[in-house]
C-alpha cells in the first residue's frame, strides 16, 4: 500500500544471481511485487545496476530482473546492419534473445500481473523492437535508444507497436556530432515520438543533459519510474 504522491521504499530481498539457459541473471525482488521489470545488460552494467535500482522511484513494489548479454551487437540487433564504427557490424540475434526472454526467462517469474521491458542504447532499440513482436509487455522504456539503426524508421512506419506505454529519452548532446549516422538520432526520436502520438500510444519523450554516456543508470531508472506510474 502507498499514499498518493509519496514514494515508499519497500524491502528488497538480497540481490540474487542465477544462470538461465547459459545467461547470467540478477534479481532484485521486493515483497508483494506485482510488477516485473526486465532489462538486458552487459558486463559493465553489472557494476551499476544496484545504483539504478535505488534510483527507481516507485509508489508500489516491483522486481527488477537483469539478464546479461555477451555479444551486444549481435544479440540485441533486430536484423543485420552495417558497422558505424570500424568493423563492428550488427548481427541478427534479436529474435534468439527475445525467444530466451519469452520462453525461458519469463516462465521463471510467473506471479506478476504486469511486465515491462527496458534498456539503454542498443538495448533500448531492442526493447522497442520487441514491443513490435509481442504484446506481453505492458510498457517499454527505451533510454537513449539507437534509433539511428539502419532501416529502423522505415520499419516503424510500416509496423504497429503492441504495447500500451512507451518511454523515450535522449541526451541533448547526442545529436550534436559530425558522424553522418549518429547525428540522425535526434530527428529520428522526434519522428518516432510523433508516430506513437498519432497511433494513440501513451508515450513521452524526455530530454536529459549530457551526451550518450552521461548517467545511463539514472536515465534507465527514470524510464522504469515513468512506466510504473502508468499502470
Ordered by start, the domain boundaries in the chain are 16-228
Confidence at residue 47, expressed as pLDDT on a 0 to 100 scale:
80
Confidence at residue 6, expressed as pLDDT on a 0 to 100 scale:
37
Confidence at residue 110, expressed as pLDDT on a 0 to 100 scale:
85
Cell of 104: 525461458
**How many residues are listed for the chain in this entry?**
231
Query: In this predicted model, what pLDDT tens digit does every residue of 184-226 receive, in sequence order?
Result: 999 999 999 999 999 999 999 999 999 999 999 999 999 999 9
Yes or no: domain 16-228 corresponds to CATH 3.30.1490.70:
no
- pTM of the predicted protein model: 0.93
Query: In this predicted model, what pLDDT tens digit does every residue of 51-66 receive, in sequence order?
Result: 898 899 998 999 999 9
pLDDT under 70 in the chain at which residues?
1-14, 231
Confidence at residue 4, expressed as pLDDT on a 0 to 100 scale:
33
Confidence at residue 77, expressed as pLDDT on a 0 to 100 scale:
97
Confidence at residue 88, expressed as pLDDT on a 0 to 100 scale:
80
Confidence at residue 85, expressed as pLDDT on a 0 to 100 scale:
82
Confidence at residue 14, expressed as pLDDT on a 0 to 100 scale:
67
Taking the C-alpha atoms of residue 31 and residue 61, their distance in angstroms, rounded to an integer, is 7
Amino acid at each position: 500500500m502507498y499514499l498518493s504522491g509519496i514514494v515508499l521504499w519497500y524491502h528488497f530481498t538480497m540481490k540474487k544471481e542465477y544462470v538461465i539457459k547459459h545467461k547470467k541473471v540478477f534479481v532484485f525482488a521486493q515483497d508483494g511485487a506485482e510488477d516485473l521489470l526486465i532489462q538486458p545488460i552487459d558486463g559493465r552494467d553489472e557494476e551499476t545496476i544496484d545504483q539504478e535500482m535505488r534510483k527507481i522511484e516507485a509508489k508500489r513494489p516491483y522486481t527488477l530482473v537483469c539478464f546479461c548479454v555477451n555479444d551486444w551487437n549481435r544479440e540485441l540487433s533486430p536484423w543485420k546492419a552495417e558497422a558505424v564504427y570500424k568493423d563492428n557490424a550488427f548481427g541478427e540475434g534479436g529474435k534468439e534473445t527475445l525467444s530466451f526472454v519469452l520462453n525461458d526467462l519469463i516462465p521463471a517469474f510467473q506471479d506478476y500481473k504486469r511486465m515491462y521491458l527496458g534498456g539503454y542504447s542498443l538495448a533500448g532499440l531492442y526493447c522497442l523492437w520487441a514491443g513490435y513482436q509481442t504484446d506481453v509487455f505492458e510498457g517499454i522504456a527505451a533510454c537513449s535508444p539507437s534509433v539511428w539503426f539502419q532501416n529502423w524508421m522505415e520499419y516503424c512506419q510500416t509496423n504497429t507497436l503492441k504495447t500500451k506505454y512507451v518511454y523515450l529519452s535522449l541526451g541533448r548532446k547526442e545529436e550534436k556530432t559530425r558522424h553522418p549516422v549518429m547525428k540522425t538520432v535526434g530527428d529520428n526520436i522526434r519522428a518516432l515520438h510523433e508516430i506513437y502520438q498519432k497511433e494513440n500510444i501513451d508515450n513521452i519523450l524526455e530530454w536529459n543533459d549530457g551526451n550518450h554516456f552521461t548517467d545511463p543508470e539514472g536515465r534507465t531508472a527514470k524510464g522504469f519510474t515513468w512506466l510504473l506510474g502508468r499502470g
